[in-house]
Structure 1
């Protein structure tokens, strides 16, 4: 299983060591995935005003078959999904970063199908899902309307820092 490691940091922000693993599926080169991960994490931490420190994050790039198994086992939903997050520690929004954030798992076929269906750049959609997964690890959720509104607004602001269009905007094509 190929592995890559990336460090996400910006002046005054925490350092997040990102352990990337491409297990299955058609994904861009690991160097490209590492760059997308670094940018997504740095933008999220900057928007959140996270304090300096050190943490680790694992990102697994896999296929629909594996994420379907994980989704069934951990969430009781026997279907593929785009992204799953598994926090290493319970964290609430605004808490200090734990030493280990947890795991983000992404499914190639679902991510590609969604980006095509929604006429979005694959890289932009993948970046959005990395941000979304990271926010779950940082204690954000979308179980209630208020939580969803807060999380989506935060995602929009983070993606705007990366010059990525609002992923929730309704277009004439959609």
Structure 2
């Protein structure tokens, strides 16, 4: 299940739509059974909060558009097929609190930075946020565009074509 947490006042959010997009992305990457067995937090913040997180966890003292924090590390998607990842997960002892689903991770999105990037790409802020949701969820699922040979980028493009309007499918979502 995807939980949307809004800690910003810059943008109006379609919380239900963003949760559905995140869940659909999880299902496309992990498979429906595994995707419904984990929780994800989708957190929207301002630049000050994301700058602090970016500095603390990546050593970069600047705001960024999206950060993903994995809480439950699954076997690598680069070396394990989806069925193998699912089998591994369901063979593990329950890790959630009080019988709840375990937390796969959190995707933190800065809406002011998303707005700036949207303007660069002639998109609405809502469209850029959708792109960032897909990008962040793919990271939670174990992909890393900074270290792979293009697999994450290809997957992200394929999912954007599948889930988003054509206008939101040009340049990659993540900005260095």
Query: With structure 2 as the length reference, what TM-score do the two structures score?
Result: 0.76
Q: How many residues align?
A: 148
Does the CA contact (< 8 Å) of 1:27 and 1:61 recur in 2? no
Which has the larger share of helix? 2
Q: 2: CA distance between counterparts of 1:78 and 1:155?
A: 27
Further displaced range: 65-74 or 152-161? 152-161
Q: 1:47 aligns with which of 20, 28, 32?
A: 28
CA offsets per residue over residues 138-162 of structure 1, 9 Å max, x none? 000012360xx21111111111112
Q: What value does the CA root-mean-square deviation take over the aligned residues?
A: 2.0
The equivalent residue for 1:26 is 10
CA offsets per residue over residues 80-119 of structure 1, 9 Å max, x none? 0000000012222232368321111010110001001110
> RCO greater where, 1 or 2, for CA within 8 Å and sep 6 or more?
2
The equivalent residue for 1:121 is 124
The equivalent residue for 2:40 is 57
C-alpha deviation, 1:46, in angstroms: 4.4
Mapping for residues 24-173 of structure 1, pairs under 5 Å: 24-29=8-13, 32-42=14-24, 44-48=25-29, 50-52=31-33, 53-91=36-74, 92-93=76-77, 94=82, 95-96=85-86, 99-144=102-147, 146=149, 149-165=150-166, 166-168=169-171
User: 5+ unaligned residues in a row in structure 1: which ranges?
Assistant: 1-16, 170-174
Query: With structure 1 as the length reference, what TM-score do the two structures score?
Result: 0.76
Which has the larger share of strand? 1
Further displaced range: 88-97 or 98-107? 88-97
Q: 2: CA distance between counterparts of 1:136 and 1:87?
A: 8
